Structure 1
Amino acid sequence: MKCVSLPLLVIASSLYESARSQCPDYSQYSQQVHQPLSTGRYQLSYMRPSPECRTFNSSVVEDTITSMKSVIKDPDLYRIFENSFPNTLDTAVKWRGVAANNSAEELTFLITGDINAMWLRDSANQMQSYLPLVKANTSTNSLASLYRGVINLQARYILEAPFCNSFQPPVESGIGPSQNQQTPDEFTPPVSTKIAFECKYELDSLAAFLEISTNYYEATGDIEFFRKFQWVSAINAIISTTESLLIGTYAANGSVNTIPYTWERQTTSATETLDNGGRGNPVQDGTGLIRSAFRPSDDSTIYQLFIPANMMFARYLDSASEIMAKIGNQRNTANHMHNFAGRIRAAITQYGIVTHPKYGQIYAFEVDGYGSQNIMDDANIPSLLSAPFFGYLNVSDPVYQNTRKLILSKDNPYFMRGPVINAVGGPHAGLGQAWPMASIIRIFTSSSTSEIQTALKEIVSSTDGLGLIHESVNSFDAHKWTRQWFSWANGLLGQCLLDLQERGLGGVLAASYQ
């Protein structure tokens, strides 16, 4: 074995850091066209940073990108896959290290993209893009290590601030906190801005921790990991937090209940605050559904019994109970989780299924337990459209199929239609702005070749030449889009194309989208 002297290692490290300091800001880089362009009709930009500028390198991901070149025949679709699938690893692994009080506790600070903060929901879904490639691996330079680091850091965040949705870098990173211009005027419970970037309470944020835990365990079988560190404590915090939000607005005698979370701010947007002194619209007591002040879009709910988040929470609480049962000495907690999940499912069936005059039995987007219902869907996951994607039900479920027909029609007030792209949007990006993320979920939940090909063609043609998946695109003008750097949506597209191959629908990958 050839030895390298310490001075040479120091020089090599110095050269590496010097090269890293020359790396472009991806917020700017992702708005510019870079050679070589794809050879298809749309001549899409190459958007990957040079290898020395990538935030994490994985040989298995690189091998997958290479292998898919012979599968995806359309050069523009392949360019989008090549750009998007590794986007989180290329750009969003802001810091990796270990806890200050435990050198065995891996930590991964994973930013959402153009916002320098870590969302519980986004980071769980960003890692899910690589789930098919994850295997048990103790190496600190593996996808499994990244997963462990995200789970550990999410557990810390939940214990520090269980009502918050996005967080600042850990102190160990040496990265200072970012300022959020959307700080509210008043909310409870108060949390330090050194810990949380934003404290919008979203039930799906807690479900995301259960999701990434389930994903890692089912991929690796690594039960020992969950016996260490703070996972069990985080689960207990999630249970106590969500159970505290089963409460209705009024007590049995008519008095107003004290609720554990409120949010109120002065704003020009109704989706950025809650009425009734930060409590939101009244919710009936005793439904068995968990309140959510905000949606996964970070927009406030109209009716706080938000069905998609309850679906996602019930599904992953149940699967996480299986992990808890295998840890040892946690059988009571595991049983409690399983039974809690079952009660939520029953409540969704009782209150979340409503009768539509045109579509029959469907799932409502939000309800209040008094009979009020919000019939719509939003692009962000969890959505009603994505219920089979995250495993709450089978895609063939008749109530889901009725709901899906409504969602993908003009009867959904947020289904954006036009010559550029037809997809679900939402109030977050505004009217007329369709979300490619929703087109991707449409593909995940379809086996129709024509439906999938139509959605892929719209995705390919709507990147404005940049070859990345935007947050939203105007359904009449592909030059009007939001967020040039949105890692979750990019990884989701890569995950989707791999899923098509896995489902035996590789024929759509061999088609032309010119």
Structure 2
Amino acid sequence: MKDIILSLVAAALVIAPSARAQCPDYLDYSQQKHQPYSSGKYQLSYMRPEPACRTFNSSIVEDTIKDMESVIKDPDLYRLFQNSFPNSLDTAVKWKGVAANNSNEELTFLITGDINAMWLRDSANQMQSYLPLVTANSSLSSLASLYRGVINLQARYILEAPFCNSFQPPVESGIGPSKNQDTPDDFTPAVSTNIAFECKYELDSLAAFLELSTDYYEATNDIDFFRNFQWVDAINTIIATTESLLGGTYSSNGSVNTLPYTWQRTTTSATETLDNSGRGNPVQANTGLIRSAFRPSDDSTIYQLYIPANMMFSRYLDSASKIMANIGNQRNLANHMHNFSGRIRDAITKHAIVNHPTYGSIYAFEVDGYGSQNIMDDANIPSLLSAPFLGYLDQNDKVYQNTRKMILSKDNSYFMRGPVINAVGGPHAGYGQAWPMASIIRIFTTNDDQEIRNALQEIVSSTDGLGLIHESINSFDAHKWTRQWFSWANGLFGQCLLDLKARKPGVLGASFQ
């Protein structure tokens, strides 16, 4: 009976199936303009679903949106905040409930937006948007409960398929799996399509679980949560998985090592598959850096020692070690996590800091341990630009500042420039497509008021009237954009304005007309 009651309570937190049938599909809804428009020159659409059609309702989020109306003076900027900050809660909490075998284990299936699958990275970042509002709370209707549900479901996914990046709905949800593409991918180790939506191995996906765990613990000090369920087992799986990817392509006698992960896809895009029969380009042994077959953009790496993901993994492995130390009877594992984190940091310093003829010592984007280096940055997080945002280093760090100058210049091959928006892009959306996400991270990583105002001006003026943060925007034509519904980027923008409220309140009092 208890299981039934808890399941009913959890189900009540999200929109009921009968009511959902009366709600518009947000994929269509978000491509149309809806009144009332904002009163500024850009007349931005109101893009929130009706309250009955929102997938999760939080009074503290609603109160925050209302409070920010007196802080954000520009009507278009406020409308963009009003639409974007609650976007994950409004549209992406596809199911919330409890585990079939444990009525105390909360589960949250949080989709990325327009794709009916749960990415480890995206869902962790979507939850981070609400971190400033999270407090210890046992209620199933709280943001803390959403956090616990995402952590628990991510732990299950990692135990089932640690090399995969996105996943199908849990069986408890009653939602059937989605089909990714017509041609099956060829990868090892094989995973059922009933479990995984896609199995691109990305180091940042595992780092995202550590980040999510750290965020929840530091906000709530709820150590009992981590003692229960499958968190410790998931950490052990993450350690085993990443340590298996420390080795090089060749053994000491020159023979080819068997890799724990390979990937191939029939595709017309080079970024969607790996060469050398799915093994990627060679990697030198004993660098101390962890391989990543794919970037957080879901594009394949050129050199598999992807530095931003190693930065993120090192930073959050260390913070998660503090959780492990406080659980009790896990001191050896906690020490191992801390020491492993330190070795990765040392390896980044040794192999990833390179000399640029214009900017001096900078961080490379990717390396292979043989001396090859990829000098660029990509819009997706983790990126080199986001290193201070991740807490890996201080934004005043000299090497970071040199790197940042390179990233935000024509010397970064994926810095898109134009009259509409100037921001980092990437091969995922292609030439000329700048990502507002990168502009938001630019704001997070500077104290320069003018730089912040310029970035906000470009963002607020380039939504094509829809009032949502797109995935990418053509830097010469605001009518050409990708993904109008991208919950992570929308939540990140709301998170950014809350940060500015505390850090640069005067900027939010400015006009962007």
TM-score class, shorter-chain normalisation, is over 0.9
Q: Counterpart in 1 of 2:35?
A: 35
- Equivalent position amino acid for 1:225 in 2: F
Question: The residue matched to 2:479 in structure 1 has which SS?
Answer: strand
Q: Counterpart in 1 of 2:265?
A: 265
Q: Counterpart in 1 of 2:3?
A: none
Provide the rounded CA distance (Å) in 2 between the counterparts of 1:298 and 1:460.
27
What displacement does 1:20 show?
Answer: 3.0
Cα deviation code 1:156-181 (max 9, x no counterpart): 00000000000000000000000001
Q: Are residue 236 (structure 1) and residue 236 (structure 2) matched?
A: yes
Provide the rounded CA distance (Å) in 2 between the counterparts of 1:246 and 1:446.
34
- Equivalent position amino acid for 2:508 in 1: L
Question: The residue matched to 1:358 in structure 2 has which SS?
Answer: coil
Q: Counterpart in 2 of 1:305?
A: 305
- Equivalent position amino acid for 1:332 in 2: N
Provide the rounded CA distance (Å) in 2 between the counterparts of 1:182 and 1:352.
39
Q: Counterpart in 2 of 1:60?
A: 60
Provide the rounded CA distance (Å) in 2 between the counterparts of 1:313 and 1:373.
20
Structure 2 length normalisation: TM-score? Answer: 0.97
Query: 1:245 touches 1:290 (CA, 8 Å); kept in 2?
Result: yes
- Equivalent position amino acid for 1:430 in 2: G
Provide the rounded CA distance (Å) in 2 between the counterparts of 1:50 and 1:151.
28
Question: The residue matched to 1:137 in structure 2 has which SS?
Answer: coil
Do the aligned partners of residues 300 and 401 (structure 1) sit closer, same or farther apart at CA in structure 2, a change above 3 Å counting?
same
Cα deviation code 1:337-385 (max 9, x no counterpart): 0000000000000001000000000000000000000000000000000
Query: 2:307 touches 2:366 (CA, 8 Å); kept in 1?
Result: yes
Q: Are residue 455 (structure 1) and residue 455 (structure 2) matched?
A: yes
Provide the rounded CA distance (Å) in 2 between the counterparts of 1:183 and 1:149.
32
Q: Are residue 318 (structure 1) and residue 318 (structure 2) matched?
A: yes
Provide the rounded CA distance (Å) in 1 between the counterparts of 2:285 and 2:411.
30
Q: Counterpart in 2 of 1:3?
A: none
Cα deviation code 1:434-471 (max 9, x no counterpart): 00000000000011010000000000010000000000
Q: Counterpart in 2 of 1:179?
A: 179
Cα deviation code 1:224-251 (max 9, x no counterpart): 0000000000000000000000010000
- After TM superposition, the structure 1 = structure 2 runs for residues 133-152 of structure 1, keeping only pairs within 5 Å, are 133-152=133-152
Q: Are residue 507 (structure 1) and residue 506 (structure 2) matched?
A: yes
Question: The residue matched to 1:388 in structure 2 has which SS?
Answer: helix
Query: 1:110 touches 1:123 (CA, 8 Å); kept in 2?
Result: yes
Q: Counterpart in 1 of 2:206?
A: 206
Corresponding pairs, count: 502
Cα deviation code 1:281-329 (max 9, x no counterpart): 0000000000000000000000000000000000000000000000010
- After TM superposition, the structure 1 = structure 2 runs for residues 295-444 of structure 1, keeping only pairs within 5 Å, are 295-444=295-444
Provide the rounded CA distance (Å) in 1 between the counterparts of 2:187 and 2:234.
22
Question: The residue matched to 1:312 in structure 2 has which SS?
Answer: helix
What displacement does 1:183 show?
Answer: 5.1
What displacement does 1:155 show?
Answer: 0.1
- Equivalent position amino acid for 2:232 in 1: V
Structure 2 unaligned residues grouped into runs of 5+: 1-8
Query: 1:250 touches 1:256 (CA, 8 Å); kept in 2?
Result: yes
Provide the rounded CA distance (Å) in 1 between the counterparts of 2:59 and 2:266.
49
Provide the rounded CA distance (Å) in 2 between the counterparts of 1:207 and 1:245.
14
Query: 2:202 touches 2:296 (CA, 8 Å); kept in 1?
Result: yes
- Equivalent position amino acid for 1:445 in 2: T
Cα deviation code 1:6-38 (max 9, x no counterpart): xxx9xx99x965433200000000000000000
Q: CA RMSD in A?
A: 1.3
Cα deviation code 1:461-504 (max 9, x no counterpart): 1000000000000000000000011000000000000001111x
- Equivalent position amino acid for 2:444 in 1: F
Q: Counterpart in 1 of 2:216?
A: 216
Higher deviation after alignment, 179-188 or 295-304? 179-188
Question: The residue matched to 1:154 in structure 2 has which SS?
Answer: helix
Q: Counterpart in 1 of 2:156?
A: 156
Provide the rounded CA distance (Å) in 2 between the counterparts of 1:39 and 1:59.
26
Q: Counterpart in 2 of 1:5?
A: none
Structure 1 unaligned residues grouped into runs of 5+: 1-8
Q: Are residue 281 (structure 1) and residue 281 (structure 2) matched?
A: yes
- After TM superposition, the structure 1 = structure 2 runs for residues 42-121 of structure 1, keeping only pairs within 5 Å, are 42-121=42-121
Query: 1:84 touches 1:491 (CA, 8 Å); kept in 2?
Result: yes
Provide the rounded CA distance (Å) in 1 between the counterparts of 2:57 and 2:183.
35
Question: The residue matched to 1:97 in structure 2 has which SS?
Answer: strand
Query: 2:183 touches 2:266 (CA, 8 Å); kept in 1?
Result: no
Question: The residue matched to 1:158 in structure 2 has which SS?
Answer: helix
Percent identity between matched residues is: 83
Do the aligned partners of residues 185 and 141 (structure 1) sit closer, same or farther apart at CA in structure 2, a change above 3 Å counting?
closer
What displacement does 1:185 show?
Answer: 3.8
Do the aligned partners of residues 48 and 103 (structure 1) sit closer, same or farther apart at CA in structure 2, a change above 3 Å counting?
same
What displacement does 1:419 show?
Answer: 0.2
Provide the rounded CA distance (Å) in 2 between the counterparts of 1:239 and 1:183.
32
What displacement does 1:182 show?
Answer: 6.7
Query: 1:183 touches 1:198 (CA, 8 Å); kept in 2?
Result: no
Query: 2:185 touches 2:264 (CA, 8 Å); kept in 1?
Result: yes
Higher deviation after alignment, 184-193 or 298-307? 184-193
Do the aligned partners of residues 182 and 128 (structure 1) sit closer, same or farther apart at CA in structure 2, a change above 3 Å counting?
farther
Query: 1:184 touches 1:263 (CA, 8 Å); kept in 2?
Result: no
Query: 2:470 touches 2:482 (CA, 8 Å); kept in 1?
Result: yes
Runs of 4+ aligned residues of structure 1 deviating over 6 Å after TM superposition are none
Question: The residue matched to 1:32 in structure 2 has which SS?
Answer: coil
- Equivalent position amino acid for 1:45 in 2: S
Query: 1:184 touches 1:264 (CA, 8 Å); kept in 2?
Result: no
Q: Counterpart in 2 of 1:19?
A: 19
- Equivalent position amino acid for 1:292 in 2: S
Question: The residue matched to 1:73 in structure 2 has which SS?
Answer: coil
Provide the rounded CA distance (Å) in 2 between the counterparts of 1:245 and 1:192.
22
Question: The residue matched to 2:351 in structure 1 has which SS?
Answer: helix
Question: The residue matched to 1:334 in structure 2 has which SS?
Answer: helix
Q: Counterpart in 1 of 2:6?
A: none
Provide the rounded CA distance (Å) in 2 between the counterparts of 1:95 and 1:185.
27
Query: 1:433 touches 1:475 (CA, 8 Å); kept in 2?
Result: yes
Q: Counterpart in 2 of 1:6?
A: none
Do the aligned partners of residues 92 and 185 (structure 1) sit closer, same or farther apart at CA in structure 2, a change above 3 Å counting?
closer
Provide the rounded CA distance (Å) in 2 between the counterparts of 1:454 and 1:90.
29
Q: Counterpart in 1 of 2:4?
A: none
Provide the rounded CA distance (Å) in 1 between the counterparts of 2:210 and 2:17.
36
